[in-house]
Amino acid sequence: MMKEKTKTTNKKEQSNRFQELFHGISQKMRADFEFMSKQLSHSLSVGEVREFAFKEFLRQYLPSFLGVEKGIIISSDEDTSKQIDIVIYDKLNTPVLYAAENLRLFPIEGVYAIIEVKSKLNSASLKDAIDNIRSVKNMTKRAFIEQGGVIINNFTLHGKESEHFPVIGLIFSYSSINLQKLKVQLEQSDDEDVTKNVDSICILNSGLISNIDKKLSLAKELNSRRFFTETKDSLLLFYLMMMHVLPQAKMRPIKMTEYTKDLNFGEIRL
């Protein structure tokens, strides 16, 4: 009996330490953002600061095979996204088509998730984030090399089964208006095709807007309902939900010739 009680106590202490760790991370992230924002007057610089703080957190705490960068996403159908604050992609297998210091160009096939980062989430900035996320979610992943063999990975997200991992669209903000109002606006913007919708929203130290059916879900599913919760542990909950899904992501090799099919490399001579 004593051993069972000790086990329960140890688990609780471990959970408390994890919670305290993320409290510290959240407080530092907010403090860094507020300090740097006061020092900078240019809106572009403030935007870079808010993205940098959250980007560094993801780089440190997500699995190392996941790359985390700012970028633009393109498809083999010649679609181009708006500039995305954070692109989470397969770092080991995705060719980066263009790489500058603060901007990269990614093929859609290698992208697992995108995150729009806001200083304050309100009606206008939510609409802007939804538009940016949809500019990616409207793309089709089709440029893959056909695979043989006995191992075929299928993924079931957004109520559909697919041979490729779909793009998850997220929003992170340092502050916001009333969470219930944001939830209502998000619900009003939701498309019948759930693959096109924003999946979840995290407000640092304040709360989360996500999905629930029989259990919590990072991705919007066919039968899930939107919910919001006000909690100082929003970053921890957001992180745990991401870690339930993103480490399972895999991709087939990208067929890059699909991106250059209209190019003429000259006459072939024997």
pLDDT digits (tens, 9 = 90+) for 43-99: 556 677 888 889 999 999 999 999 999 999 999 999 999 899 999 999 999 988 888
Share of the chain above pLDDT 90, in %: 67
133: exposed, middle or buried (Cβ count in 10 Å: 0-12, 13-18, 19+)? buried
Give the tens place of pLDDT for each residue, 151-208: 567 888 898 888 899 999 999 999 999 999 999 999 999 999 999 999 999 999 999 9
Q: What is the mean pLDDT of residues 215-243?
A: 96
CA 76-82-88 angle, 5° bins: 75
With a cut of 50, say whether residue 2 has pLDDT above it: no
Q: Per the confidence metrics, is the pTM higher than 0.95?
A: no
Q: What is the mean pLDDT of residues 121-146?
A: 95
Which of 190, 200, 186 is CA-nearest to residue 239?
200
If one counts every other C-beta atom within 10 angstroms of the C-beta of residue 25, the result is: 17
What CA–CA distance (Å, rounded) separates 270 from 265?
15
In the block, which residue shows the tokens 């991401």? 242
